[in-house]
Amino acid sequence: MELTIAKIAYDFAEEGAAISKKKEYKSYVKKIPSLIYKNGLSATLKFIDIKRNNQSNNDAYNILFNQIKKFLVDMGHSLNDPFTYVSSCDSNKYRKVTIEILSLFDWLKRFADGLIKED
């Protein structure tokens, strides 16, 4: 499973490195795991959703929200909206999804560091 997550994370990091706001993307990738630990996955997903709706369509939060959504679908979760899905999970599934998302961001941080260089 870790190799699958790593492959997905690499593809996402490449996508993030190709956008105009790649520095913001890299910064958010590093920030999101601490938000999950402090506030929980549901609150963090809602935060990302609110941020993306307050920005342009090419914003880094929008890219991250769509990547999280795609990741959850790729991992076998059926959903329309990540926040709604996670909020409706029982505690065991919520923990499983949280661990999967944290694993994704662990890999994503590594790849974003390598692919997105500071000027």
CATH number for 24: 1.10.520.30
Task: Residue 30: name the closest of 112, 89, 98 by CA.
Answer: 112
Q: Are 63 and 15 in contact (CB under 8 A)?
A: yes
pTM attached to this predicted model: 0.91
pLDDT at 84: 86
Q: Count up the domains in the chain and report the number.
A: 1
Q: What is the pLDDT of residue 80?
A: 77
Structural domain boundaries enclosing 89: 2-115
Q: What is the pLDDT of residue 1?
A: 85
CB 113 within 8 Å of CB 26: yes
> pLDDT, tens digit, for every residue of 51-103?
988 866 558 999 999 999 999 999 988 777 888 889 889 999 999 999 999 99
Q: Note whether 14 and 25 are within 8 A (CB).
A: no
The mean pLDDT value for 39-58 works out to 86
Query: Mean pLDDT throughout 28-52?
Result: 95
Q: How far apart are CA 9 and CA 119, in angstroms?
A: 23
C-alpha span between 37 and 3 (Å, rounded)? 23
What residues contact 112, with CB distance under 8 A and at least 6 apart? 13, 16, 17, 25, 26, 29, 30
